[in-house]
């Protein structure tokens, strides 16, 4: 082997040996920078979750309803079971705030009211006086404490505040519990390994639950005793993680996580809280990077081409970073242009609601000059409710610099900028919208007034039409009565005149024949008068529980001789003897009228037939139908529409008065029945009497 080659290989081996530790630290520092950048995003999400509820205990502690509920306990009043209605109030606030639980304790640490008062794990009656968040709040300081729930076993962040009486005395502690498990699930979904430790190095939040309540460093006996007393992390042991002897530093730690192997753990403090957030990555990844770079070093010795390639890559990266910086600047400029030209006023406020930035639309809206400013949004918006931040739009009045007032909609939303809290206030002028709404309301009032007027006109017209219909019906009835009476009276006059002439001629037999005819006409007028009295007079409607078969048998017996003489075949289908509540005589009269009408319709009909059927209706449970159907000539639609009208008849002149069906219909209404008709020309006509069946229970009660 040539000497120079041996020297070159020896020099390369020495270079690799001595540069390995340096490369390892370099890559670890690079990994640290990347981890800190990632931790910034995770810290922002954690702080946003906490800050969203941080104000809630102080707000609740000043609520008069909560203060009065504790005051009633001090006066010796016993709380109702479950603490109604205070526990229900806490439940409603808890649901709206999105927190896990809210509960209220007395100065001894006993919980009297809780949002979970209806659950099996209710806090009501439990004493949490041993918890630090209780002792801190009782001492007048806001409580901030992460722990595993002593009752529910569910970990969470406890925020507490003292509740003062009007005298200034601390009469209790209000506590809000926040569940951070959803935040852990989002960490797990991101694929990064993230831990959060307390001031003693104990892991209580992690993207993987198996690292819960392990510690990055051994715990002293004093700390173990304190944890056992407060039960901060439950009753289980706190297991310390094993440290690797090499690759340790003040800026990171290296731990042996068994199956996961050696891991680099980078920590970053969380501002304002006694916690640290950690990101871990396998040490093998860094070693792989170092091995790769050492391989690159070997390749550098192989030729200038590799060096040139590496230089070009670095240069390309620099150009990319410069391009990214230019793109970022252009994007910021573009976003500012959008903000300046938007149609709504935008105001950026700090955490004390002092102005940081106003766009041009906001200045024009409130008529502010380029140098004009304000110290509080209440100068521009009345009423101003900063406590409604994040709850959507609110309606108010805008006040311009010249004192002009105009209707607006404003929205106040919190944002997180780095480590600071800020607010975005959007303001929209709704003057035109308000005027349009008022115009629409006025139009609706006018329209409602017109509708009322038209309704009154229609009601008056309807009443007038009903009166006209009554008069028309009365006129038709008067004409029909006059027609029915006029013929017998005319005939009587003729027979009287004829009888006088016959008497003068001494024709006694002819006179007797005239008298017989006059007697028939008088009987016809008497029958007409009697039926009119039945139709228009007050009838006896007294009712009882009667059989439906009995009146059918009565009518058939009454009309039996006529049925036989006119050769009308009558078929009965009466399978059950149904009981109905009706007047027996009225029911008999209706069936006799309907059966008589059917016999009259079959006059001269070959194969005359009447079917009487009694069936229970399937379409109307609890009702029975008695139908009388003939196979006569039937009726058309025009005749059916008048069939129940007085003096309407299809019989030849002198054969009927047209009152039988009208009387039957009126009698059916009197006993609470329904009389219907159906007919087809050439097929016959069917009349159906529908009545409700009397139940056995009703018959027993009646008896």
pLDDT digits (tens, 9 = 90+) for 112-170: 999 999 888 889 989 999 899 999 999 989 999 998 888 888 899 999 999 998 888 88
Q: What is the pLDDT of residue 113?
A: 92
Confidence of residue 291 (pLDDT cuts 50, 70, 90): confident
Model confidence at 383: pLDDT above 50: yes
Q: What is the pLDDT of residue 173?
A: 94
Q: For tokens 């042996």, name the residue.
A: 256
Q: SS3 of 654, please?
A: coil
Q: Does domain 55-178 have CATH number 3.30.450.20?
A: yes
Q: What is the pLDDT of residue 482?
A: 57
CA nearest neighbour of 28 among 290, 295, 244:
290
SS3 of 339-398: the string is: HHHCCCEEEEECCCCCEEEECHHHHHHHCCCCCCCCCCHHHCEECCCHHHCCCCEEEEEE
Distance of alpha carbon 602 from alpha carbon 610, whole angstroms = 9
Q: Which residues pair with 689 in a beta bridge?
A: 626, 675
Distance of CA 381 to the CA centre of its chain: 34
DSSP assignment, residue 202?
A: B
Distance of alpha carbon 208 from alpha carbon 191, whole angstroms = 10
Instruction: Give yes or no for a contact between 102 and 175, defined as CB atoms under 8 angstroms apart.
Output: yes
Query: Do the domains 342-429 and 539-702 sit in the same CATH topology, yes or no?
Result: no
Model confidence at 338: pLDDT above 70: no
Q: SS3 of 628, please?
A: strand
pLDDT digits (tens, 9 = 90+) for 312-328: 778 888 888 888 888 76
Structure token digits, residue 368:
């502010």
Which H or E run includes 612?
A: strand 609-616
How many Cα atoms sit within 13 Å of 583 on the Cβ side? 14
Q: What is the pLDDT of residue 324?
A: 80
Q: Where does residue 441 fall: left (phi above 0), alpha (psi -120 to 50 degrees), or beta otherwise?
A: alpha
Q: Which of 91-95, 154-158, 336-340 has the lowest mean pLDDT?
A: 336-340
Looking at per-residue pLDDT, the higher value among 253 and 96 belongs to 96
Average pLDDT on 371-381 reads: 78
Average pLDDT on 465-485 reads: 55
From 3.30.1330.40, 1.10.1060.10, 3.40.50.80, 3.30.565.10, which CATH number describes the 539-702 domain?
3.30.565.10
As to burial, measured by CB atoms within 10 angstroms (0-12 exposed, 13-18 middle, 19+ buried), residue 655 is exposed
Q: SS3 of 263, please?
A: strand
Model confidence at 391: pLDDT above 50: yes
Confidence of residue 519 (pLDDT cuts 50, 70, 90): confident
Q: What is the pLDDT of residue 18?
A: 63
Confidence of residue 58 (pLDDT cuts 50, 70, 90): very high
Model confidence at 532: pLDDT above 60: no
Distance of CA 185 to the CA centre of its chain: 30
- Beta-strand ranges (E) seen in 109-192 are 111-114, 143-148, 155-164, 170-178
Confidence of residue 484 (pLDDT cuts 50, 70, 90): low
Helices and strands (H and E) in the chain: how many: 18, 26
Instruction: Give yes or no for a contact between 633 and 681, defined as CB atoms under 8 angstroms apart.
Output: yes
Q: SS3 of 17, please?
A: helix
The ranges assigned to domains in the chain are: 22-51+180-283, 55-178, 303-339, 342-429, 434-535, 539-702
Structure token digits, residue 494:
């003729």
Highest mean pLDDT among 93-102, 227-236, 344-353, 570-579: 93-102
The radius of gyration computed from the CA coordinates of the chain, to the nearest angstrom, equals 52
Q: What is the pLDDT of residue 35?
A: 85
Task: Convert 520-541 to b/e letters by CB count within 10 Å (16 or more is b).
Answer: ebeebeeebeebbeebeeebee
Q: What is the pLDDT of residue 245?
A: 72
Q: Using alpha carbons only, give the angle 290, 291, 293 rounded to the nearest 5 degrees.
A: 65
Q: Which of 503-507, 531-535, 610-614 has the lowest mean pLDDT?
A: 531-535
Q: Does domain 22-51+180-283 have CATH number 3.30.1490.20?
A: no
The CATH number of 342-429 is: 3.30.450.20
Q: For tokens 């009501």, name the residue.
A: 124
Q: What is the pLDDT of residue 656?
A: 53
Q: What are the distances in angstroms from CA 364 to CA 341, 426, 435, 494? A: 12, 14, 21, 108
Looking at per-residue pLDDT, the higher value among 172 and 431 belongs to 172
Model confidence at 184: pLDDT above 70: yes
For the whole model, what pTM was predicted? 0.41
Highest mean pLDDT among 56-60, 452-456, 529-533, 672-676: 56-60
Highest mean pLDDT among 71-85, 88-102, 278-292: 88-102
SS3 of 429-474: the string is: ECHHHHHHHHHHHHHHHHHHHHHHHHHHHHHHHHHHHHHHHHHHHH
Model confidence at 422: pLDDT above 80: yes
Instruction: Give yes or no for a contact between 515 and 553, defined as CB atoms under 8 angstroms apart.
Output: no
Q: What is the pLDDT of residue 535?
A: 46
Q: Is-cis flag, bond preceding 85, omega within 30?
A: yes
Q: What is the pLDDT of residue 82?
A: 46
Confidence of residue 102 (pLDDT cuts 50, 70, 90): very high
Q: Which of 66-80, 251-265, 431-445, 540-554 has the lowest mean pLDDT?
A: 66-80
Distance of alpha carbon 440 from alpha carbon 458, whole angstroms = 26
Q: What is the pLDDT of residue 649?
A: 65
How many Cα atoms sit within 13 Å of 450 on the Cβ side? 6
Average pLDDT on 1-20 reads: 69
Model confidence at 205: pLDDT above 60: yes
Mean pLDDT taken over the chain: 80
């Amino acid at each position: 082997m040539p000497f120079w080659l041996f020297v070159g290989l020896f020099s390369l081996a020495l270079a690799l040996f001595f540069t390995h530790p340096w490369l390892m630290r370099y890559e670890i520092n690079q990994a640290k920078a990347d981890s800190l950048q990632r931790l910034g995003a995770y810290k922002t999400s954690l702080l946003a979750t906490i800050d969203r509820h941080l104000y809630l205990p102080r707000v609740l502690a000043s609520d008069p309803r909560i203060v009065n509920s504790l005051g009633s306990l001090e006066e010796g009043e016993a709380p109702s079971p479950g603490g109604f209605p205070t526990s229900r109030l806490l439940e409603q606030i808890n649901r709206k705030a999105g927190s896990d639980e809210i509960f209220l304790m007395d100065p001894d640490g006993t919980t009297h009211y809780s949002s979970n008062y209806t659950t099996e794990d209710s806090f009501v009656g439990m004493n949490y006086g041993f918890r630090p968040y209780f002792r801190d709040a009782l001492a007048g300081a806001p409580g901030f404490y992460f722990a595993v729930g002593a009752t529910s076993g569910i970990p969470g962040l406890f925020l507490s505040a003292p509740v003062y009486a009007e005298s200034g005395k601390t009469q209790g502690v209000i506590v809000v519990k926040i569940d951070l498990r959803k935040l852990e699930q989002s960490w797990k979904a991101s694929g990064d390994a993230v831990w959060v430790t307390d001031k003693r190095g104990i892991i209580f939040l992690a993207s993987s639950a198996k690292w819960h309540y392990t510690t990055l460093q051994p715990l002293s006996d004093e700390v173990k005793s304190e944890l056992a007393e407060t039960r901060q992390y439950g009753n289980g042991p706190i297991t310390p993680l094993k440290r690797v002897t090499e690759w340790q530093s003040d800026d990171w730690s290296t731990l042996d996580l068994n199956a996961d192997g050696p891991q680099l753990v980078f920590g970053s403090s969380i501002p304002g809280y006694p916690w640290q957030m950690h990101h871990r990555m396998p040490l093998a990844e860094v070693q792989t990077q170092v091995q790769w770079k050492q391989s690159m070093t070997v390749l550098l010795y192989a030729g200038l081409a590799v060096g040139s390639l590496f230089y070009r890559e670095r240069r390309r990266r620099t150009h990319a970073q410069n391009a990214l910086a230019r793109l970022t600047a252009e994007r910021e400029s573009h976003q500012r242009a959008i903000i300046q030209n938007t149609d709504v006023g935008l105001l950026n406020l700090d955490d004390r609601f002092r102005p940081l930035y106003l766009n041009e639309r906001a200045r024009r809206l409130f008529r502010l000059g380029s140098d004009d400013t304000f110290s509080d949004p209440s100068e521009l918006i009345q009423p101003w409710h900063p406590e409604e931040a994040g709850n959507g739009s609110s309606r108010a009045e805008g006040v311009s610099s010249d004192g002009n007032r105009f209707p607006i909609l404003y929205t106040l939303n919190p944002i997180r900028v780095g480590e600071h809290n800020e607010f975005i206030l959007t303001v929209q002028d709704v003057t035109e919208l308000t005027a349009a709404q008022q115009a629409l309301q006025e139009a609706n009032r006018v329209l409602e007034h017109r509708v009322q007027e038209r309704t009154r006109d229609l009601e008056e017209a309807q009443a007038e039409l009903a009166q006209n219909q009554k008069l028309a019906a009365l006129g038709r009835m008067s004409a029909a009565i006059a027609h029915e009476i006029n013929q017998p009276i005319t005939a009587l006059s003729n027979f009287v005149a004829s009888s006088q002439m016959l008497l003068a001629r001494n024709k006694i037999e002819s006179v007797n024949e005239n008298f017989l005819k006059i007697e028939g006409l008088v009987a016809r007028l008497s029958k007409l008068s009697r039926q009119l009295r039945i139709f228009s007079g007050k009838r006896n409607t007294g009712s009882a529980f009667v059989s439906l078969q009995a009146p059918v048998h009565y009518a058939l017996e009454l009309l039996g001789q006529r049925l036989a003489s006119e050769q009308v075949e009558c078929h009965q289908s009466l399978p059950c003897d149904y009981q109905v509540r009706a007047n027996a005589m009225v029911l008999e009269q209706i069936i006799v009228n309907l059966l008589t009408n059917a016999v009259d319709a079959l006059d001269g009909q070959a194969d005359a037939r009447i079917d009487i059927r009694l069936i229970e209706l399937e379409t109307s449970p609890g009702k029975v139908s008695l139908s009388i159907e003939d196979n006569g000539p039937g009726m058309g639609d025009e005749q059916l529409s008048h069939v129940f009208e007085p003096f309407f008849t299809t019989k030849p002149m002198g054969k009927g008065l047209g009152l039988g069906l009208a009387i039957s219909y009126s009698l059916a209404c009197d006993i609470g029945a329904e009389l219907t008709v159906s007919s087809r020309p050439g097929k016959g006509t069917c009349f159906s009497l529908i009545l409700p069946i009397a139940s056995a229970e009703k018959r027993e009660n009646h008896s």
